[in-house]
Amino acid sequence: MNDNSAMTGPDSPPERPPLSLLDALKATEHRRRVSLDETDVRLLELLSTDGRLSNRALALDVGLTEATVAVRLRGLLEQRILHVGASLDWKAAGFRWEMHLLISTADRPVEEVGREVAALEGVVSVLVVFGRYDLIVRVLLADQVAAGELLHDRLSRIHGVDRVESGVVYETRKWTTRFASRSAVSRLDTAVDFPAPVTTLDTLDRALVDELLADGRRSNREIGRRLQVSEATVRVRLRRMEDAGLLRIRGQIDADKAGLVAAWAVVLVSTVGGSTDAVADELAAMPEVATVSLSTGRRDLILFVTAPTRNHLVRVVTQDIRGLGGVRSTETCEIIRTINIKYHWVRFLGD
């Protein structure tokens, strides 16, 4: 299947500009929406790696005073360009099933259907897309029984859900935690579940997670005061969850608001023969490909792709991805809106 029908438009000669945050800011077609400079971008880069870096450490890196850094961070937070909070590894939390649902709707506005789907237990993201499908939904579930109930019971009750294709993710080859999706950082959800966590969590641990989801830059001392425990207790419990691979404190950047990304798409890839693993590795090496999931179903790979311009996205899909040996076909679902995303559920790979 050719993928040229999903996105058309003028293209520039093949080239691969680097995709640092600064390069993305310079390249994007809608950078005029914000007023970030190189220092702001550097702060975003640093916090996306370690959300608890002190203002002193940040100031030393960017060559400004701590007071100036504090003012800049406050601006990024107030504009909702940046949210610093806990990221949680869904596998370490005990979810055993990750699924993607490709939904076509009928007889009802797409967004109305999407809002009902988003309210279902286990649904962590609902994207409105152009193409053969209307909604792409990501689901995390504790077991196969929950998956069956969702597919055969709960979804069927939603008026407007016409057809559903599902794929179970059996391996995540790449997961980039830096970017939240469109407007995701304004949708805080601290109602998290841990079906079978890798480390025992009591009431205090869960309260600590709630605090960090809301604001990952709260000091251990402040969290201890709020939870009425010592700073040392907070430090020990936080380290235990980090060492277990359950939690990291990182900045999530709303790349659309920041003017860093102007085009997003889910790309469904079918491969030839036994080439899926090799193709997945090549795709994971592409900076524009944020996630690579190996999936059951009609498609072998599900990708989340971001680009600083739409022309860049077209080029990546039609030349870079489709040009790989082993790729039989692709289908591009361009993302036009995010109905919901619980962006704190991620996978820590190579961390």
pLDDT level of residue 260 (50, 70, 90 thresholds): confident
pLDDT level of residue 9 (50, 70, 90 thresholds): very low
Model pLDDT, residue 262: 85
Mean pLDDT of the chain: 87
pLDDT level of residue 272 (50, 70, 90 thresholds): very high
pLDDT digits (tens, 9 = 90+) for 293-334: 999 989 999 999 999 889 999 999 999 999 999 999 999 999
Model pLDDT, residue 275: 94
pLDDT digits (tens, 9 = 90+) for 126-141: 999 998 999 999 999 9
Q: Is residue 60 part of a domain?
A: no
Model pLDDT, residue 345: 92
Model pLDDT, residue 261: 83
Total domain count for the chain? 1
Cβ atoms of residues 10 and 311 within 8 Å: yes
Residue 203, helix vs strand vs coil? helix
Q: Is residue 211 part of a domain?
A: no
Higher pLDDT, 132 or 185: 132
Model pLDDT, residue 10: 41
Structural domain containing residue 322: 92-184+257-346
Task: Tell me the pTM.
Answer: 0.86
Residue 78, helix vs strand vs coil? helix
Q: Is residue 274 part of a domain?
A: yes
- The CATH number assigned to the domain holding 177 equals 3.30.70.920
Q: Is residue 286 part of a domain?
A: yes
Q: Is residue 212 part of a domain?
A: no
pLDDT digits (tens, 9 = 90+) for 31-62: 445 678 899 989 999 998 899 999 999 999 99
Q: Is residue 110 part of a domain?
A: yes
Cβ atoms of residues 80 and 257 within 8 Å: yes
Model pLDDT, residue 36: 84
Cα distance between residue 230 and residue 220, in whole Å: 9
Q: Is residue 308 part of a domain?
A: yes
Model pLDDT, residue 343: 84
Describe the crossing of helices 66-78 and 38-49 by its angle, rounded to 10 degrees: 80
Q: Is residue 309 part of a domain?
A: yes
